[in-house]
Amino acid sequence: MRIIMAESMDELALPADMLRLLQSVKGKKVAVAMSGGVDSSTTAALLKLAGADVMGVHMLTLPEGDEAFNREALEDAKKVASLLGIKLETVDVKAIFKEKVIRYFIDSYMNGLTPNPCVPCNQFIKFGVLMQHALRSSDFYATGHYARSFFNGKRHVLMRPVDRNKDQTYVLSMLTQDMLSKSLFPLGHIPKKKTREIASMLGLHVDDKAESQDLCFVKGTRKGYIGARMGNKCMCGDIMDSSGRLLARHEGVHCFAIGQRRGLGIKGSEPHFVKAIDAKSGKVIVGSFNELLRDSFKVGNINWSSVEPLRTGETMDCQVVVRNRMEPQDAAIIQNNGFAEIRMRGKPIWAVAPGQVAAFYSGDLVLGGATILG
């Protein structure tokens, strides 16, 4: 593998905990989810350099005729695999991607909910069918996500990465113990800047590649994407304030998300934010910033990533996040029968959106995740 310009791992100046992780799979078979980007490419190269028996797996999510089909991603993955001298398998996940990600995305917005399609994509696709395929011939499954994971003697735990600006644990908070037990996240131990430097040193030719987009299957606007797939039928409704006063008309509840300020079409000097969405009546309720503050909310479908599940009546202190890249806020989880209540400690939380995921932390430790009910 002559593309490697560094003669040894020492020349890469990797942190000790990252080196231990890489060396722990020396001689083991490791499948790497390769998107063709700098993160997954660097992950594969580091594992190869550390002595793992590496192969790549690339998922095909959209048909070639789709306007958002990314031909460059597959070609880049093939080039990197060739440079590394590893096998690359393509895995057709189009059917389940359409069901679990695209359909979920459209249905959620049409029902007045706010989805995060990256969560089910990780849960059902990347760490679901793609991981299952990879583990048929490999011991471990690695990705380029910025997160950390290890076994603490009782459970496999998920932790926030060194680079807080690239923290992806929010969208990984629904991963189960089975998933974490076979997963490797080498890049969680270094900043993104270091990843690009390593890719350049190793001659991967993807070190300057742009970041991938969260809505990889949407070309254009969310409004246009969903509207076209719903036949652009009339989905008009009213935009009202909390007192019931009509402020404007809209073209469909799929155009809105809780906390949204732009694109409301409301005149006036005071800012308005989407407070609630009633899909049945088509009403979108707006309010002031303070009207979106909450002292508590409910969650369901709870996944406990790193700790034992709470029993009914038990309480746990935590920090909570209700959208990607927000700062965690102090709260308590009170487990009830079939759902949990999240009570804020200190300051209230803003713009809690039903349908979104809430992730729970204790410092760097990811306790788990759940679906916001309201």
Task: Let me know if 216 is a catalytic residue.
Answer: yes
Catalytic member of 216, 234, 255, 318: 216
Nearest Cα residue to 309 out of 370, 251, 228: 370
What is the spatial distance between Cα 209 and Cα 272, in angstroms, rounded to a whole number?
37
As given in the structure block, the two tokens for residue 34 are 């390769």
Q: Are 364 and 158 spatial neighbours (Cβ–Cβ below 8 Å)?
A: no
- Measured distance CA(241)–CA(270) in Å, rounded: 12
Furthest-apart CA atoms within the chain: distance in Å: 70
Name the catalytic one among 118, 121, 255, 318: 121
Of the candidates 135, 120, 97, which has an alpha carbon nearest to the alpha carbon of residue 173? 120
DSSP for residue 347? S
What CA–CA distance (Å, rounded) separates 86 from 113?
A: 43
- In this structure, what is the dihedral angle of CA atoms 209, 147, 172, 336, given to the nearest 10 degrees? -160
Distance, C-alpha 141 to centroid of its chain? 17
- The number of angstroms, rounded, from the C-alpha of 162 to the middle of its chain's C-alpha atoms is 17
Strand partners, 241: 286
Active site residue 121: yes
Distance of CA 313 to the CA centre of its chain: 30
Active site residues: 121, 216
